[in-house]
Amino acid sequence: MALTLKLAGKHAIVTGSSKGIGAAIAKALAAEGASVVVNYSASKDAADAVVASITAAGGKAIALQGNVAKPEDAAQLIADSVAAYGPIDILVNNAGVFDFKPLEAITPEHFHRLFDINVLGTILATQEALKHFNPAGGAIINTSSIVSMDSPAGTGVYNATKSAVDGLTRTFSKELGPRKIRVNSVNPGPIESDGVHAQGLLDTFIKLGEATALGRIGQPEDIGPGVVYLASDDAVWVTGTTLTISGGLK
C-alpha cells in the first residue's frame, strides 16, 4: 500500500527558515509533500542549503528573500510565493530574534528590534498571506516559546514578544475561524539553536535540558513534527491552541 503524505499538494511558507528551528520545520513540511518556500532575510547561502537538502530528498522548495518586519518585503515575499506555487495553504510565522537582556540593559533599540521582527513581522506576513490563502482554508502556525509561560529572569523583552505572539494566536484564531483557517502556535523549550550558540548560552540550555522530564536539550528537528501535525488534517478541529514542545520542562 502506497504511503499517503499528509501535506501532499499543499503550499507552505516558512518565514525565517534558513537555519535552526525554521530550517527543520521547512524540511519536515517538505518531507510530508508540501511545496515549501524557505524565507530568509540575509542568509542566502544557508537558505539555498536548506533548499538543496529538501530537493535532494525528493521534496520541492525554493528560497525567497524578505525581511517580514518591512511591509514591502512581506508583500513581495507572499507575491513571489504565490507566483511559484499558487494559493497558500500553510503559513509558519517563524522569523524571530532571540536575544536576552536583563532589565537594566534594555534599550529602545533592543525593544523595537525584537518587537518589529517577532511581533510586527508575524502580523505583516499574516496580513499579506490572507490575501492569497486557499479559499478552502488552511493553517497558520506561529513559533512562540516556553519563555512566554515560565518567564525566566533576564528575558523581559523577548518574553513580552512571545507572550504577544501567543495572544495573536488566540485572537487571530477567532477572527479567521469563519474562513476555515486554523491558527495555532508551537512553544519550544530549550533548543540547541543558532541563537543559543551566538549568545553563549549553550551550557545554560544544556542544564535546562537536563532538568526536563526527558533529560536532554531539544534539537530543531524535535519541533518539525509538531508543526506538521498542526498544519495537517490531523488537527482539523484544533485552533487557538499552544502546543508546548519542551521535553517536559516545567
129-158: per-residue pLDDT in tens?
999 999 999 999 999 999 998 889 989 999
The backbone torsions φ and ψ at residue 6, rounded to the nearest 5 degrees and listed phi first, read -65, -25
How far apart are alpha carbons 27 and 59 in whole angstroms? 8
Which of the following is catalytic: 40, 85, 158, 229? 158
Give this prediction's pTM: 0.95
216-245: per-residue pLDDT in tens?
999 999 999 999 999 999 999 999 999 999
pLDDT at position 62 is: 98
40 carries an active-site annotation: no
Query: H or E stretch including 204?
Result: helix 202-210
69-111: per-residue pLDDT in tens?
999 999 999 999 999 999 999 999 999 998 999 999 999 999 9
* 3-state SS string for 150-198: HCCCCCHHHHHHHHHHHHHHHHHHHHHHHHCEEEEEEEECCECCHHHHH
pLDDT at position 2 is: 54
Domains of the chain from N-terminus onward: 11-245 (3.40.50.720)
